[in-house]
Chains A and B, each alone.
Chain A
């Protein structure tokens, strides 16, 4: 598989961030929100605190790495949930047709008309901040994308001979839908799921920025918010986590492109000798 330079770079960046996120408790143990040093230490001043400290003397690097855990895990979980739920709903709607299709798609329309962020905001305010409420909020707004994509694929797959062949064998409808059709229909949804990860990172960051995040956990959005008060003098306190957000979201987008390219020709494989 030929890998372009940009894709390789994106994979490397995401790899580093993911590794950092996974290994956070070991490479930078302790509470990232603990006050560990002199406040407003500049980056590279003291090699024990390579990225300096914030207003309250908290280690920026530790917060960054632990914040990666929050951002990436929430984004991944939310995107996964949205893709799985959306794919199943899309398959049911597409295969069953009739009133099932109408009801499910009108439901999707209802969710789609509410702006993602507003819905997430409302949900988190009501349920209270926590990782699971984030996953729920983002998932609830993102499932409609995969649902519509999968439904479209299912509609075209339904007309293919192999579905008829399964019906002729006496395979029950739900088995055809979930075992035969769904795996062939999820390609576009997976590609979209990757993009959903990117937008989930951004939503999570925004919610944390607004102070709706879990106050007991470090997160990039929170760091950016905290850095506002010293923006003139210590701009890097907001810029560093901001850069991390951009790098993460951009890398995911680039990898999502590569994934969708890789999936696309494979789906056409086997056509005509």
Chain B
């Protein structure tokens, strides 16, 4: 438990939909330092709600989150803004996650500026960030829609890692990318994790992607975690019927 970076207990947030509810219906899990944990779920399972709760974009109805020793859900106001640097997010659609009128340079400078860095230092850090994710300075003056999907996602990763977070939440980070580019981004993410020692909370509906990146996985169904454990273990011997049906449905090449 002391190695635990994040511990979630009974986290709950429901939204009425039709005659029932969607959202998160009380989940428990933990993430250790340096670990990659995957959250697997279909649409409507509550996975996006989970991400938004962790990122404090929406307030929980119930539950407790312990992040880096603090009671995360009760941090508010200016304290929250200061603490946010430790928990960052990469959104699913890199196009909608950027201000369409902001240049890449400005997008990358934002997190450093918010940390209070001066102009020259910000520029230095922006250049470092570009190199770290494998991009060139030529991109600095471009707008988000002028670069490719893979490049956009690299920018999103660089932006999220600028504050040196301990935990990075990634919401379907490669789903919107071309197939021949996905592996590049996943390899980049692993290299960055090895260099920085941060943890990843990787949300995906794609079990093949999950297997490639995650040490442990959580299966989310209708707001509850129905199965959890080491990735290879669950994929080889799924216990819960939902997990079994998910695995059976994945198309295979061979």
Report if A270-B144 is in contact (Cβ < 8 Å); known contacts: A161-B97, A164-B57, A184-B99: yes
In the assembled complex, B119 has its CB within 8 A of some CB on chain A? no
In this complex, how many residues of chain B approach chain A with their Cβ under 8 Å: the count is: 29
Q: How far is the CA of A168 from the CA of B80 in the complex (A)?
A: 10
- Find out whether the CB atom of A165 lies under 8 angstroms from the CB atom of B102: no
- Nearest chain-B residue to A167 (Cβ)? B57
- Please measure, in the bound complex, the distance between the C-alpha atom of A160 and the C-alpha atom of B99, giving whole angstroms: 9
Given A160-B96, A184-B100, A269-B100, decide whether A168 and B145 contact each other with a Cβ distance below 8 A. Answer: no
Chain B residues 69 to 120 lying within 8 A of chain A, measured CB to CB, are 81-82, 84-85, 88-89, 91-93, 95-102, 110-111, 114
CB distance from A5 to the nearest CB of B (A): 32
Residues of chain B lying within 8 A (CB to CB) of residue A172: 81
CB atoms of A269 and B145 under 8 A apart: yes
Which residues of A, 256-273, contact B by the 8 Å Cβ criterion?
A: 267, 269-271, 273
Q: Kindly identify which residue among B85, B93, B96, B159 contacts A170, using a CB–CB cutoff of 8 Å.
A: B85
Which chain A residues border B159 with CB–CB below 8 Å? 165, 169
* Interface assignment of B197: CB less than 8 Å from any CB of chain A: no
Task: Decide yes or no: A170 and B114 within 8 Å by CB, A162-B96, A183-B101, A270-B144 being known contacts.
Answer: yes
Give the dominant DSSP class at A's interface.
helix
Q: Which residue of chain B has its CB nearest to the CB of A165?
A: B97
Q: Which of A11-33 contact B (CB under 8 A)?
A: none
With A and B bound together, what is the CA distance between A170 and B84 in angstroms?
6
Chain A residues with Cβ below 8 Å from B235 are none
A165 to B96, CA, bound (A): 10
Assess the A170–B99 pair: CB atoms within 8 A. Answer: no
The chain B residue with its CB closest to the CB of A180 is: B99
Docked complex Cα distance between A165 and B153 (Å): 13
Q: What band does the interface of chain A fall in when counting residues whose beta carbon is under 8 Å from B?
A: 20 to 34
User: Once the chains are docked, how many angstroms separate the CA of A184 from the CA of B102?
Assistant: 10
Hey, what's the 0/1 contact readout for A25-49 against B, CB within 8 Å counting as 1?
A: 0000000000000000000000000
Q: Which residues of A contact B143 (CB under 8 A)?
A: 270
Chain B residues, CB < 8 A from A160? 96
Q: How far is the CB of A222 from chain B (nearest CB, A)?
A: 44
A-B pairs, 8 with minimum CB distance: A270-B145, A170-B84, A161-B97, A170-B81, A161-B96, A161-B91, A165-B97, A162-B99
Contacts of B4 in A (CB 8 A): none
**Are A162 and B97 in contact, with the CB atoms below 8 A?**
yes
Tell me if A169 and B114 are in contact (CB < 8 A): yes
Is A171 among interface residues, defined by CB-CB distance under 8 A? yes
Known contacts A161-B93, A162-B96, A183-B101; decide if A168 and B114 are in contact (CB<8 Å): no
A165-B89 CB under 8 A given contacts A180-B102, A270-B100, A273-B149: yes
